[in-house]
Amino acid sequence: MYDYVIVGAGSAGCVLAARLSEDADVKVCLLEAGPADTHPLIHMPIGILWMMRSKVLNWNFHTRSEPELNGRELFWPRGRTLGGSSSSNAMCYMRGHPNDYDEWEKLGNPGWSFRDVLPYFKRSQNQERGPSALHGVGGPLNVADQRHPNLLSKTFIQAGIQAGLPFNDDFNGVEQEGVGLFQLTQKNGRRCSTAAGFLKLARQRPNLTIVTGAHARRVVFEGKRAVGVEYIKAGKTEQVSAAAEVLLTAGAIQSPQLLMLSGVGERAALEAARIPVHTELAGVGKNLQDHLDVIVVDTCRKAVSWGITVKTTLMGAWNLLRYALGGTGMFTSNGAEGCGFAKSAPEEAIPDLQFHFSPARLSRHSLDLGFMVGDGYSLHVCNLRPRSRGEIRLNGSDPYDKPDIRANYLSDPDDMERMVRGVRLARKVMAAPAFDPYRGITLLPKGPCSTDAEVREFVRQRAETIYHPVGTCKMGSDPLAVVDAQLRVHGLQGLRVADASIMPLLVGGNTNAPVIMIAEKASDMIKAARRASQQAGAAQTQRQSAQRPQVAQPVA
C-alpha cells in the first residue's frame, strides 16, 4: 500500500514523484507505460531526430482528418519513457507571458496569477546565468545557454532586428517580445529531462517505487473515492493501492483518456464506448488547444547549415567525439535555436506570434529526410493563443486504443488570419539583408504565395503541430471544468490531475516549463492537504481521549 500513486512519469509525473518522496514517511509509486530512459539518444540533444521516429519511446499519435487543413491527419509525437515528452522535446526553456497566468486566475482559479506561480518556476530552475528577480538557482531543472549555436541562427537575429523586432536576451525576463537564442533545458550539453533533473536523486529513495512498462487502464474507486490504479504489465493485470491520493500526470491526451476509461466523463461519450458511467463530468477531453505552426524554408548557398550534407556527414564522427568528450559541438543542438516573439498587428497588447528558427531544411517534423538533404534554413511561425477548440474522445474501451484526437485547428477564422499575418512576417524576416549572403531559393512556400488566399492555402497544406496540446481536464468551476484550483477532480475524492491538461488557456510559449511549474505547485498543495488531514486526525484523537471517563484513583 502506497500513500500516493502517480500515473505517467512525464514532465509533471517525475516532478511530483521527486517532491512527494522528499518526505521519508510518505510512500510513493510512479507508474510509467514506457521503458526506462536508458537509450543514449534520449540524452543527446540531436537525438530528437531519432526520437521522432522511435516506435517504442514515442506514442506516435495522429489527429483525425482536420477539416480546415485539407483533411490531413496530423502527426502528434509524445514521449513514452521516463521523462515523458521532456525526454523527446526540443528543450526550449520558455514560460509564456505573465498575462497568461493572470488570465488563469481571472477565470476563477485563485492562486494561479503570475505572482503566485513565479516562485514555482524559480524553485524548479537552475539558471546557469545566476539568480535574479525572475530566475532561480539550485533547482533540478538546469537552464543553459546554447553551447554551439549555428552561424545562421545568429544571422536570424540580425534579420529579425532588420525586420523591426528588438533584440531579446531573455524571453523569460521583463519583456517577451523580440528575437534571440533560446535557453535550453540542458546540463553540460546533455538533455535535462525531468527524469534526469528531478528523478536522478529521488530514484535512490527507498520510499519511491518506479514501475516502468506499466500501462494504467483505470482508476479504482470505492464509492466516490479513488483508492488505486489498475495497470497492465507484461500482459498481466495488476493493481496498486493509494491510501491518500491517486495523481494523474499522463499528459493532455492520456489523462482525459484514463478518466474516461475509469467511467468519468460525458455520459454520451462513455456510453458510446460502452463504459459504465461512474461520475458524469462533461468537460473531460474538451477544451483541447494547441499551437499550430507553419514553416517557411530557404536553401542556403554556403555550406554552413546543419542539413544533411557531405560536410555534416563527414564531420559526424568528429562531432560525436566532441559531444562524448566535452558535451560540445553540433550534437548539442536542439534543432530550433533561434526564437522570436512578435505582435501580428500593432494593436496587440502582447506578442501573439512565436518564431522558432532552425539552421536546416525542415518539413513534417523532420520525418521527410529527403527534404533535409542540402544546406538550408527554416523559420517556423505559430499563433500563440488560438481560439479554436478541439477534443479528445475514446476510440473504444480498450486502454491500448489510441484516442480519437480532434484538434479542430483553424475552426475559428481569427486563427487563420493570425497565421496569415505570421507567415507574412516570417517571410519579411527571411527576406532581410542579413540573409543575403546565404539565401538560395525558397523551398516553402512554393510559388509566389503573395495573396491572402494563397497564404491561407499554404497554411492549409503545410501547417503542423508544434507539440503543445493542453486544456483537456481544465481547471475552473464552470460546467466544463474538470479540476478545481487545487487540481482535485470535481465530484470525486482522492483524485487530482496535475499536467498539461489542467491549463484552462494555452500559454503564449512552449509548455514544458509551465507543466513543471504546475507539478511543483501541485506537490505543495498535496503536502498541505496531508498536513491538514494529519492535524485533523491528531485533534480528533485528543478530543476522544478528553471525552473518555476518568479512571478513579485509589485513595491512600
Catalytic residue set: 468
Beta bridge mates, 184:
92, 144
- CB of 543: closest distance to ligand FAD in angstroms? 42
- Give the count of residues interacting with ligand FAD (CB under 6 A): 42
User: Using the rule CB under 6 A, is 513 a contact of ligand FAD?
Assistant: yes
Dist CA 496 CA 504 (whole Å)? 15
Segment contacting ligand FAD (CB under 6 A): 29-37, 309-317, 372-380, 439-447? Answer: 29-37
Residue of 21, 54, 63, 88 that binds ligand FAD (CB under 6 A): 88
Chain centre distance of CA 405 = 17
Rounded to 5°, the CA angle 111-283-250 comes to: 75
User: Using the rule CB under 6 A, is 366 a contact of ligand FAD?
Assistant: no
| Of the candidates 137, 249, 141, the residue with the CA atom closest to the CA atom of residue 197 | 141
Q: Under a CB-based contact definition with an 8 Å cutoff, are residues 53 and 39 in contact?
A: no
Cβ proximity to ligand FAD, 415 vs 464, nearer residue: 464
User: Using the rule CB under 6 A, is 378 a contact of ligand FAD?
Assistant: no
- The CA distances from residue 331 to 196, 367, 465, 469, in Å, are 18, 18, 24, 27
Dist CA 283 CA 516 (whole Å)? 23
| Span 442-481, contacts to ligand FAD by CB under 6 A | 467-468
With residues binned 3-state (H G I as helix, E B as strand, rest as coil), the percentages for the chain, rounded to 5, are 35, 25, 45
C-alpha cell at 66: 482536420
- CB of 469: closest distance to ligand FAD in angstroms? 8
- CB of 126: closest distance to ligand FAD in angstroms? 16
Residue of 21, 54, 63, 89 that binds ligand FAD (CB under 6 A): 89
| Span 274-313, contacts to ligand FAD by CB under 6 A | none
Dist CA 326 CA 396 (whole Å)? 49
Please give the span between the terminal C-alpha atoms of the chain, in angstroms, as a whole number: 51
Q: Under a CB-based contact definition with an 8 Å cutoff, are residues 86 and 143 in contact?
A: no
Cβ proximity to ligand FAD, 250 vs 273, nearer residue: 250
Residue of 266, 391, 499, 520 that binds ligand FAD (CB under 6 A): 499
Write the interaction track for ligand FAD spanning residues 204-233; mark x where CB under 6 A is met and - where it is not: ----------xxx-----------------
Residue of 91, 196, 330, 410 that binds ligand FAD (CB under 6 A): 91
Dist CA 292 CA 102 (whole Å)? 23
Chain centre distance of CA 383 = 17
Residue of 462, 510, 520, 526 that binds ligand FAD (CB under 6 A): 510
Give the CA radius of gyration of the chain. 24
Residue of 150, 354, 366, 511 that binds ligand FAD (CB under 6 A): 511
Residue number closest to ligand FAD, CB atom: 10
- CB of 314: closest distance to ligand FAD in angstroms? 28
- The CA distances from residue 515 to 138, 142, 532, in Å, are 19, 15, 26
Residue of 249, 305, 344, 408 that binds ligand FAD (CB under 6 A): 249
Contacting residues toward ligand FAD, per CB under 6 A? 7-13, 31-34, 77-80, 84-86, 88-92, 94, 214-216, 249-252, 254, 258, 467-468, 499-500, 510-513, 515
